[in-house]
Structure 1
Amino acid sequence: MAKVTKKKKPNTTGFFKYVKWFWILFASGVLCVALIFLLASWGLLGIDMPEYEYLENPQTNLATEIISSDGKTLGKFYLDDNRTPVPYDSLPSNLVNALIATEDARFYDHSGIDAFGFMRALAYLGKKGGASTITQQLARQLFVGVRSKNKVEAIRQKIMEWVLATRLERQYTKEEIIAMYLNQYDFLNNADGIRSASKIYFGKEPQELKTEESAVLVGMLKNSSYFNPIRREELVTNRRNTVLGQMAKYGYISEKEKDSLQALKMDINYNPESHKEGLATYFRMYLQGFMNDWIQKNPKPAIDGARDKWSLWLDGLKIYTTIDSRMQANAEDAVRQHMAKLQAEFFHQNTPDRNPTAPFLDLDKTEIDRIMERAMRTSDRWRIMKDEGKSEKQIRESFTKKTEMTVFDWNSDGRERDTIMTPLDSIRYYKTFLRAAMMSMEPQTGHVKAWVGGIDYRHFQYDNVYQGSRQAGSTFKPFVYAAAIDQLRLSPCDEYPDILYCIEANKHGNLEPWCPKNADGKYSGKDFTLKAALANSVNTVTAQLIDRVGPRSVVSIVKNLGLDKEILEVPAIALGTPEFNVYEMVGAYGTFANQGVYVKPVMVTRIEDKNGTVLFEYVPETKDVLSKDVAYTMVNLMEGVTQGGSGTRLRHSYKKNATEYKEIITGYPYGFTNPIAGKTGTTQNQSDGWFMGMVPNLVTGVWVGGEERSVHFKSITYGQGAAMALPIWGMYMKKNYDNKDLGISDGEFEKPENLSIRVDCSEPAEEQQDDLEIEEDLEDLDF
């Protein structure tokens, strides 16, 4: 009988022992992690965790956004964070795909912590990538801060990230987490959040980003300081291509698309956003004052722990303005183009050989020293050094020491150049520059469409639209004519002689006899119709009109037109001695275009908080000042200025054989054929040049002059309003008409029915009156 051998059982005791210890260790690890999470959430590990309420509504500083009437961002008010959040729906899919492919491929599969990524990072010591999920990175940005170099502290921070990441996942959807992350990240160069980054680096809204542009921004998430597209183009291009490779790896784009996109040159369209750069800088600074005043008068609703006042810099308000970004750009371009040419001619005429006291004219050394002394004492340098406790001697000495500085220069790239000069020389240098201002308004609504307060806000921060008041010159004459037509029922066809005309002393408050001369100092002896007299700025005719109606009547109308300043009620005001700013003048002239109804200029239509709650809506302020007949008659009078007066050059086209003067000043290809009403203005010694121009739905005022009245052209050739200011209006309107979407009228001004004032001087007065009576009789008949 065969021997039966028993099969030896394998010894499994050792194997099960290892399995048992594996599960013990695994369970212990899970319990430890759970315990760490629990203790951390209770605050027992010395980690300060945010309250649940804060987690539900993280307090992030938000920039206040200034929005144009055509929906564009004009600029922002912010302290450190130039952040304007956008919802997930406004993010392009290519941006989200690039983010997930590069930063967290399993984002939709985990609950805040990627266990696989964590184990991989431990196994390879981080050489094959880290383990931080998008949610963890968001937690770090919102609550944890910069990773500490201390290992113990770094571990505590990591634990805090884990706990907060799981809480965030419970509190928000995946889409909300992505939006919060991209809105929170600092992309450098004042680009806080994805919207600012899109605008600053590519000049577009996030939803307009191309795939390769999204890849650039996602690439910066690794380290925006290191991957800075402005300073490290090659490095950022390589990082962009890495992101595109990740997108291909995870199937978001094809290999063919990846290859073609990686071959593209990185196209950065850098648009820096700061308080001194960008569109409508002067308007934004006016708006800052407007908002500060509004905040003082409108307390913030009481919320536990919140500020009791709105913050222009932190609360993410939205300010909806009347400014049209397209018209604003046209206005700034027109000012820049004309003023560069005008300034070049001014420099040409004010060389040391031609004018030893340049840039000042007709001043002696004592007067010039007085101007320079005043400029020194009001400078930032003087104020800062005085606040630092420096003596007057030390301050004065600092003005005579040469120093490196960046100054304004029309001929340099970016209109700046580096130089070395004394601060006192820099003051004189800046006095040489002519300043400009313009404002454009829709007369029917009062909506201000464009606002340019100067030639460059970085170097000339005084706003000549609103802050600066200058003598109005002949642009004041229409107010005298309006008073005469309103009270005396005069017609543009009525005639007055151009002769020496004196208003004796003690009449109309006049202390001495007043006998004004014309600009050329001559009297033609001819009879001028009112239309021709206004078109040619005949001073003697204006004197006769103010003598008939009296200065008080003129001042009364002027105040009703929004020019509410103290004005001496003397005859001399007829020639424009009172001082007004461009803002006031545009509002007043708008009354003529708006059939006699004054509408106060409006800049802000609505203010909202960050949640869209309306905090303010404007209410129009209007006043009936003139009848429709008188307003239309004034428009008709001022049409004569561009038909046969000082504004006729608006009708001219460019000529190749133009003289040097025409090349610089009048050689612009205007060629307007549509109805235009306007008035030029020039003050004594050519210190101020004005042009007020109107079409039916747009009134625009332009002023040009030096900071000091002694800084001006020597002759009327260049120093008149038709040469200094009118070209800016012409270039601006030409650009506006080129864009049909703006809807700028090129038609006739609306004529009132049954106009009772004769405006057609080619038709005999009796015949025109008969026609009017026939029309009135027909209206009375009952058909």
Structure 2
Amino acid sequence: MRPVAAELLRRLRHPTRRGLVRAAAAVPALVLLYVLVLIPFTPGFGDIRKAKVDEPARIFSADGKLLAEFRPVNREWAKLADISPNVVEALVATEDHRFYQHHGLDWRRTASAAVHTFSGDRQGGSTITQQLARNLYPDDIGRSQTLTRKVKEAITALKIEMVYTKAEILETYLNTVPFLYNAYGIEMAARTYFDKSADRLDVTESATLVGMLKGNSYYNPVISPERALERRNIVLAQMVKYGHLAPATYESLKRRPLRVDFERQLEAPGRAPHFAQQLRKWLIAWADDNDYNIYSDGLVVRTTIDSRLQTMATQAVMWQGSQLQSIANAAWGARAGCAGGNPDLVRAFVRESPEYRAAKDAGLAEDEAMKRLASDRNFMRTLCENKTRMQAAFLALDPRNGYIRAWVGSRDFSQDPFDHVSQARRQPGSTFKPFVYGAAFEQGAKPDDTLVDQPVEIPLAGGEVWRPEDDSPPSGRPVTLRDSLAYSKNRITAQLMQEVGPARVARLARAMGVRDSRLELVPSLALGTSPVTLKEMVSAYGTIANGGGHVEPVLVTRIEDRKGEVLAQFEPATPEQVLPADATQKLLDAMRAVIDRGTGSSIRSRFGIRGDLAGKTGTTQDNADGWFILMHPQLVAGAWVGFNDSRVTLRSDYWGQGAHSALPIVGDFFQRSMRSRLIDSRERFPKEEETGTLRAWLANGRAWVSNLFASKPASEPPAKPRPATRRVPAAPAAPAPSSPHAPEAVPPIIASQMPAEMPPLLPLPSDAPALGEPQQPASGASATP
């Protein structure tokens, strides 16, 4: 080894001519090898071609209306012909004056930049094409200042020049550069800073925007107008230097002020923004699984939304929301001290704010931070408005196939993008009761069976006792299950829950559509104390309207490529029969009574809606949530009304009830849709064949009388309940006898079956009868455990 090392050292000290030639040849060979190794790690020609035709996914309604476009950034692509020539001239003169002479790399400029950099005056040598490479592929090329990044950038620039024309390079560059304030591309920049389109930019405005490219934040004309003005004049001077501007013109223009007309450009929310928000998440997952890009592959997505129904739903939510907001303002507005005269709640609002946490993090004591924020009028006004802003949500779907037809997640997407349809979980109140009655009917009970309206006491673990209440005192009279559901009787429902059991009710609710929320297996579940989403509830009611067959909600029918070829087709699933048809018919029969003469009767008396309808109102404790869901054979629609903070309520025993807060949204929607003939009032729910001539005659007679007097609610509750076909003892603490109609005995809930740590339950307020209706047995609100 030593002789070999000595020989190598000798040759290095005294190289031969042949050795020098070999060494000189090895350097470019190594450089070439280095470049060849990096080529596979740069964007391919296919990716570069796609960037030129970047096309976002377009979302269409079932009736062919554009709902949304999924763009990665707030950008509107402008053709080069639609961009002012002043912009192009300013760009070329400032960033790359030899743009039309080189093929992606300007070796002369690169060498000059290297010399200046080595001498301590760092300069950039990138061409417009190289900058475009960085803008389009920051992840592939990298961001660090290394030789590898520069080589990959150069390789990508050469590829771009091979694929694009010079005009296409300029167009792509000007449409992909960022300009702050969520404005991407020259068109959005022109609108943001000068309130005009890119084709109308004059020479000074063009120079201002091109000047920002050197450093958006540093040369921001809104925050740093002096620096922006100085940079603008440098750009104008470059235009003079390379023959794009006359010197005399420059002398007059450089004294002009910037004249910025600034306005942030917000993305248009579209017809169904909350629906589009949920769809985007689903489509991204689908595209990833199938090797597509929702931002560049031009996908066309056909959805189940009906744009006409969506418009009606949006209008109904906005109209009722505005009505209720005036009531909320009277109770919670500035005159009421923001929190209805409750200083403790005001302090709680302040303590939960980001501003309070920031003040604490800055070292302020609690009292000092509270005092400073309480004295800030703008902060307190904004806080009050946010906390007391009335919210509402609406969802409608076709129960036959699960197609979602309308989706409104809040009153105003720009103010509150949070989706109250699928994200918000709120107590459903009495709208949960149909699951209790459905479970009872499944076990053999009938709508005409009775329970006695008497005090109910259900012992719980730990010695607590739950005493559900109604607005009216116990009458001691038997009440049919049909009337109990129609007037939303809490005491009767609690007794029925004892017989059926929370586990069976929860199982049925999950099978019918409440599949994402956790249901507490406690007696108060019967009155809707477990929070759920509006989407789950409307889906479950769709199961009832579909004869007991559950179909998962559907958002999309098919996906096409940009040429119209179908990539994926989505057919509705076969209904899963989760509630027997006979039990579903009994439940529908009882829920029809809610609309014909119960708490939901203003659907007919106020809105004049005819047809075969069933539904349920719901109100939670302290009127924190108002619900109403209406079923029609072709459409099931539900609405929720409340505040984002459940400590804020309408504070009105009238307006706080679902029959007066949420019902008008659904009523207005159905009224509009029936007048537009989008829903057929002659449609009827499917029902089992009646057996026996007498039963058929009686059924037809009941339907005829119901339709004849549908628009007018009963003037008073039935003087006498219907004759009992089955009576169930109502002693809450004792086991109830099993139903003779049930296939198996269902024992009542006893204390030993209750959770070990269940807090006490409060007495409950209940739903009031609908507007214009005499006092009927009231519906129950749910208690919060």
Counterpart residue number, 2:312: 330
1:541 alignment partner in structure 2: 492
* Residue 694 to residue 154, structure 1, CA distance change in 2 (3 Å): same
Shift in Å, 1:516: 1.6
Say which of 583, 587, 590 aligns to 2:535: 583
Preserved contact between residue 76 and residue 82 of structure 1 (Cα < 8 Å): no
Conserved 8 A contact 2:513-2:543: no
* Aligned with 1:747 (options 662, 672, 682): 682
Determine which of 347, 350, 354 is the counterpart of 1:372: 350
Distance 1:585 1:51 in 2: 49
Cα shift at 1:278: 2.9
Supply the distance in 2 between the matched residues of 1:560 and 1:634 (Cα, whole angstroms). 16
Correspondence 1:460 to 2:416? yes
Aligned to 1:204: none
In structure 1, distance between residues paired with 2:204 and 2:430 = 57
- One-letter amino acid matched to 1:157: Y
Equivalent-residue separation in structure 2 for 1:677 and 1:581 (angstroms): 20
Please state how far the C-alpha of 1:59 moved relative to its aligned partner: 3.2
| SS of alignment partner, residue 718 of structure 1 | coil
Query: How does 1:576-655 map onto structure 2 within 5 Å?
Result: 576-610=528-562, 614=566, 616-618=568-570, 620-621=572-573, 622-653=575-606
Q: Shift in Å at residue 61 of structure 1?
A: 3.3
The separation in 2 between residues aligned to 1:571 and 1:55, in whole angstroms, is 63
In the superposition, relative to structure 1, how do residues 392 and 724 fare at CA in structure 2: closer, same or farther (>3 Å)?
A: farther
1:278 counterpart = 2:262:
no
- Cα distance change on mapping 1:382 and 1:600 into 2, 3 Å: farther
Q: One-letter code of the match for 1:576?
A: G
The Cα shift of 1:225 comes to 7.7
- Residues 401 and 423 of structure 1 are in contact (CA less than 8 Å); yes or no, is this contact kept in structure 2? no
Partner of 2:436 in structure 1?
480
TM-fit CA distance, 1:762:
7.5
Q: Distance in 1 between matches of 2:664 and 2:459?
A: 40
Query: How has the CA–CA distance of structure 1 residues 288 and 56 changed in structure 2, closer, same or farther, with 3 Å as cutoff?
Result: closer
Distance 1:441 1:156 in 2: 57
Number of the residue aligned with 2:631: 694
Distance of aligned partners of 1:347 and 1:440 in 2 relative to their CA distance in 1, 3 Å threshold: same
Report 1:388-467 matches (<5 A): 391=362, 393=364, 421-467=377-423
Amino acid at match of 1:635: L
Contact map agreement 2:623 2:650 (CA 8 A) in 1 = yes
Q: Cα gap change, 1:559/1:401 in structure 2, threshold over 3 Å: closer, same or farther?
A: same
Q: Structure 1 residues 425 and 396 mapped into 2: Cα distance closer, same or farther (>3 Å)?
A: farther
Compared CA separation, residues 570 and 53, structure 1 to 2 (3 A): closer
Code of the aligned partner of 2:389: F
Q: CA deviation at 1:706?
A: 1.6
Q: 1:77: which partner in 2?
A: 70
Distance 1:222 1:73, change over 3 A: farther
Closer/same/farther in 2, CA of residues 748 and 625 from structure 1, 3 Å limit? same
* 1:339-384 residue CA offsets vs partner (Å, 9 max, x unmatched): 111111222234566x55x4358xx6445533432x31xx4x689x
Structure 1 counterpart of 2:487, which letter? N
Q: Which amino acid aligns with 1:59?
A: K
Question: 1:292/1:155 Cα in 2 relative to 1: closer, same or farther (>3 Å)?
Answer: closer
Identity of aligned residues (%): 30
Q: For residues 637 and 275 of structure 1, do their structure 2 counterparts lie closer, same or farther at Cα, with a shift above 3 Å needed?
A: farther
In the TM superposition, residue 534 of structure 1 has moved relative to its aligned partner by: 1.2
Q: What residue in structure 1 maps to residue 525 of structure 2?
A: 573
Paired residues of 2:339 and 2:346 also in contact (CA < 8 A): no
- State the distance in 1 between where 2:51 and 2:623 align: 59
1:292 Cα offset (Å) = 4.2
Q: Using a 3 Å threshold, how does the CA distance of structure 1 residues 191 and 554 change in structure 2: closer, same or farther? A: same
1:686 to partner: Cα distance:
0.8
- Cα deviation, residue 683, structure 1: 0.8
Shift of 1:671: 1.7
Aligned mates of 1:275, 1:77 — CA distance in 2: 11
Query: Residue 75 and residue 51 in structure 1: after superposition, are their counterparts in 2 closer, same or farther (change >3 A)?
Result: closer
Report the number of matched residues: 548
Shift of the 146–612 alpha-carbon distance from structure 1 to 2, 3 Å rule, reads farther
Q: Tell me how far 1:747 sits from its aligned partner.
A: 2.1
Structure 2 matches for 1:84-163, cutoff 5 A? 146-149=91-94, 153-154=96-97, 156-157=99-100
CA drift of 1:566 comes to 3.0
Cα offset, 1:753, TM superposition: 3.2
In the superposition, relative to structure 1, how do residues 504 and 735 fare at CA in structure 2: closer, same or farther (>3 Å)?
Answer: closer
**Quick one: distance in 1 between partners of 2:366 and 2:566?**
50
Give 1:224-235 correspondences, 5 Å limit: none
Alignment-mate amino acid for residue 495 of structure 1: T
- Cα distance in structure 2, aligned partners of 1:642 and 1:195: 54
Any idea what the Cα deviations from partners look like across 1:147-202, whole Å, max 9, x if unmatched?
3347xx445437879xx9xx99x9999xxx9xx99x9899x999999999xxx9xx
For structure 1, which runs of at least 5 residues remain unmatched after alignment?
Answer: 1-49, 86-95, 104-128, 201-215, 227-271, 302-309, 404-419, 654-669, 769-783
Contact 2:559–2:567, Cα closer than 8 Å, also in 1: yes
Greater RCO, CA 8 A, separation 6+: 2
Q: Which residue of 1 aligns with 2:505?
A: 554
CA offsets 1:491-511 (integer angstroms, 9 cap, x no match): x233333x22425426xx796
TM-aligned CA deviation for residue 726 of structure 1: 0.5
Is residue 2:652 matched to residue 1:719? no
Equivalences for residues 657-672 of structure 1 within 5 A? 670-672=607-609
Residue of structure 2 in register with 1:14 after alignment: none
Displacement of 1:599 after TM fit?
Answer: 0.9
Query: Secondary structure, in 3 states, of the residue corresponding to 1:450?
Result: strand
SS at match of 1:488: coil
Cα separation, 2, equivalents of 1:572 and 1:55: 61
Structure 1 residues 450 and 672, CA, compared in 2 at 3 Å: closer, same or farther? same
Aligned to 1:684: 621
Contact 2:333 2:340 in 1 (8 A): no
Structure 2 alignment gaps of length 5 or more: 1-42, 105-128, 130-158, 207-263, 703-721, 726-785
Q: What is residue 459 of structure 2 aligned with on the other side?
A: 505
Structure 1 residue identity aligned to 2:100: Q
Aligned mates of 1:448, 1:584 — CA distance in 2? 12
How much has 1:597 moved relative to structure 2?
0.5
C-alpha offsets along residues 48-75 of structure 1, whole Å, 9 cap, x if unaligned? xx99878866534332322222222211
* Native 8 Å contact 1:563 1:584 kept in 2: yes
User: How far apart, in 2, do the equivalents of 1:513 and 1:593 lie?
Assistant: 36
Alpha-carbon shift at residue 682 of structure 1 (Å) = 0.6
Amino acid at match of 2:309: M
Q: Is the 8 A contact 2:428 2:531 kept in 1?
A: yes
Distance 1:273 1:324 in 2: 28
Which residue does 2:466 correspond to in 1?
514
Structure 1 residues 706 and 185, CA gap change in structure 2 (3 angstroms) = closer
Q: Secondary structure of the residue that 1:716 maps to in structure 2?
A: coil
Q: Shift of residue 616 of structure 1?
A: 4.4
- Aligned to 2:330, the other structure's residue is in SS state helix
Aligned in 2, Cα 1:451/1:51: closer, same or farther, shift over 3 Å? closer
